[in-house]
Chains A and B, each alone.
Chain A
Amino acid sequence: MLIDTTAFLGPYPWRQVPGTTPEEVLAVMDRVGIREAWVSHLPAIFWRDPGAGNRWLYRVAGEHTRLHPVPAVHSGLPGWRRVLDEAMERGAPAVRCDPTFYGLAPSGEEVRALAAACGETGLPLMLAVRLEDARQRHPNDGAGELPPWAVRQLIRSHPALRLLVTHAGREFIEEVHFGSTPEEAQRIWWDITWVWGPPEDHLQTLLGTVGTERFVFGTGMPLRVPENSVAKLDLLDLTSAQRAAIQGENARQLEARPA
């Protein structure tokens, strides 16, 4: 069963992107064969307070059981811990934070506080390295990419924290994985959205060096066409067990569980 951990709903501020409504995303999921999707509210990443996006997300998820809300937490705002409480109450598989878009230091005090709270509650924290290729970003889209050192610092900041890092490429993943202790590395999951397939074979290499158990299926849709992530799997030499792990079982292992 395919579980997309990195889907978005809602329009993108920097260009027109087709298919951003829940119904359209569900139709594309059917087209590609994705059973469930963890969805984030795309516009809220750019808002001063993503809270209104979370409310919309919960409402949509209530109407569409295949969509699982990943609420956004801006830990620089007062009262952010309530977002975590609500996420637990509503059964969110994870929460996300996009510190560079909020103007927060990626591993600064506010984000470390969120990381600690996630570690204490058992909620995985999702962090995106990027949303778009840096070479094509809008001239006014100036938020920096998530740096690998921030991920290394965050995973060390709390012993129970579990991270899902999305939209990372091979070099980023290797730097963080091998720049962490084995125990720390076991608490980081990576989505395959930004990892190259053949002929460079970055994904095949990483599955061998970092481990199949560390990777989850993700598409980044609708900013990216979801067929790409399926194509990556189709072009790999995988056992059926490996494929099942990436397609959904690893995500099931990762999703929120009470601390």
Chain B
Amino acid sequence: MGLESVTLPEAAGLSPSPDPVQIPTMLIDVHAHFLHDRTPRADWRERNASRLRAGGRIGITTHIGSVLGSWGMTSPIYFPSPTDLEYGNDRLLDLQREYPDRIRGYVCVNPNDTGHAVREIERCLGLGMIGIKLAASRRANDPLLDPICVLALLHGVPVLHHIWQHRSREYPGQEASDAAELCELAARHPGVNFLLAHIGGGGDWLHSLHVVRLVPNVYVDLSGSGVDGGMLEACLEAVGVTRLLWGCDLTMDTGLAKLRCLEHLLPPDQLESIKWTNAARIFPSGAFQSSSPPTLPDLC
């Protein structure tokens, strides 16, 4: 599953940006996605290549990605079939092997088929994936998620859970969860770390921040297309720098923007927590090249 070669702007006769984009030191994107040949996207290679190219400019050292089955090609995005999950996870494993220094993977599962989910988690974690991705196949507080969390605890990996910030109704095509439902699950599994996905990904993020404030094993993933004024300040106020994780999801420009804003809001050592040391703390030891297991900084 090779990506197209990445052409640098200088090689294409274009002038580099007047301002340096790249931010030095480690930077872990905890919420990335990759596409493959059995999705509806004919441009899947270009999108994957674009993610890596933009990541190079931003300074992303590790993209932790997931593949949601066939992205709707042969089963629904949020209700992926076992066959599609295996194919998508395999393609992500291919990418992880091809780019061992830049790409790591979440194994994506559908909890409705518990037996398959358990087998797929064991298989993919055994092959080097470093987390579990749950999208919107089953409500987060449903008991069907418990066996998955038991495995997360056993293997010492976090669970990234797709969230609709303050889901006030049902949405077609997904059984979305919100922060309150995720926190119910987190309370049942206090030894597992959960990532509340894309706080900027749509919905009432203030509601989510109120909910997660006192739930210590839920981390807020900053990704999403939303770049609302005041959102970063509210995140910091709600959970502090030790429970924030940087990410992009589908829009890397918003990820870079949040990083630049945080540079103005935080001293450098605290910014490092969000950029990578928090992630290095909750993902398995050795998950990231050149990262040593960090200690909890004296913050907040």
Q: Residues of A with Cβ closer than 8 Å to B?
A: 15-19, 31, 33, 132-133, 135-136, 139, 196-201, 221-225, 227-228, 230-235, 237-240, 243
- In the complex, the answer to whether A234 meets B19 with C-beta atoms within 8 Å is yes
With beta carbons under 8 angstroms apart, the residue of A136, A196, A233 that contacts B251 is: A196
* CB neighbours of B51 from chain A (8 A): 198-199
Decide yes or no whether B127 CB sits under 8 A from chain A: no
B296 within 8 A of A: no
Do residues A199 and B229 form an inter-chain contact, with CB atoms below 8 A?
no
Inter-subunit contact B226/A136 (CB<8 Å)? yes
Residue of A nearest to B224 (CB): A133
Q: Is the CB of A221 within 8 A of B229?
A: yes
Q: Is the CB of B21 within 8 A of A200?
A: no
Whether B50 contacts A199 by the Cβ 8 Å rule is: yes
Q: How far is the CB of B8 from chain A (nearest CB, A)?
A: 9
Q: Tell whether A225 pairs with B261 under 8 Å between CB atoms, given A136-B226, A231-B256.
A: yes
Given contacts A136-B205, A200-B251, 10 further A-B contacts (CB under 8 A): A15-B206, A18-B233, A132-B228, A135-B203, A136-B228, A200-B47, A221-B229, A224-B228, A225-B257, A227-B256
For A237, give its contact among B9, B164, B252, B256 (CB under 8 Å). Answer: B9
Within 8 A of A (CB), among B166-202: 168, 202
Whether A198 pairs with B53 at a CB distance below 8 angstroms is yes
In whole angstroms, what is the CA distance A162 to B116 when docked? 58
Known pairs A19-B229, A136-B205, A198-B54; A225 contacts B258 (CB<8 A): yes
28 A-B residue pairings within 8 Å (CB atoms): A15-B206, A15-B230, A16-B230, A17-B229, A17-B230, A133-B225, A136-B228, A196-B225, A196-B253, A197-B253, A198-B252, A199-B47, A199-B50, A199-B51, A199-B252, A200-B50, A225-B227, A225-B229, A225-B258, A227-B257, A230-B19, A231-B257, A233-B17, A234-B19, A234-B21, A234-B256, A237-B14, A238-B14
Known: A18-B230, A223-B228, A237-B14. A136 touches B257 (CB 8 A): no
Q: A136-B202, A228-B254, A237-B9 are in contact. Are A197 and B229 (CB under 8 A)?
A: no
A236 to chain B, nearest CB (A): 8
Tell me the smallest distance from the CB of B12 to a CB of chain A, in Å: 6
Residues of A within 8 A of B17 (CB): 233-234
The interface centre, meaning the residue of B17, B164, B203, B253 with most chain A CB atoms within 10 A of its CB, is B253
Q: How far is the CA of A18 from the CA of B231 in the complex (A)?
A: 10
In whole angstroms, what is the CA distance A31 to B229 when docked? 15
| Given A198-B51, A201-B50: A234 in contact with B57 (beta carbons within 8 A) | yes
Contact A240 B253, beta carbon cutoff 8 Å: no
Q: Does B48 contact A (CB under 8 A)?
A: yes
B119, CB-defined interface residue at 8 Å: no
Contact of B260 among A132, A198, A201, A227 (CB under 8 A): A227
Residues of A within 8 A of B252 (CB): 197-199, 235
- Cross-chain contact A224 with B229 (CB below 8 angstroms): yes
Which of A136, A198, A227, A238 is the most central at the interface, judged by chain B CB atoms within 10 Å of its CB? A198
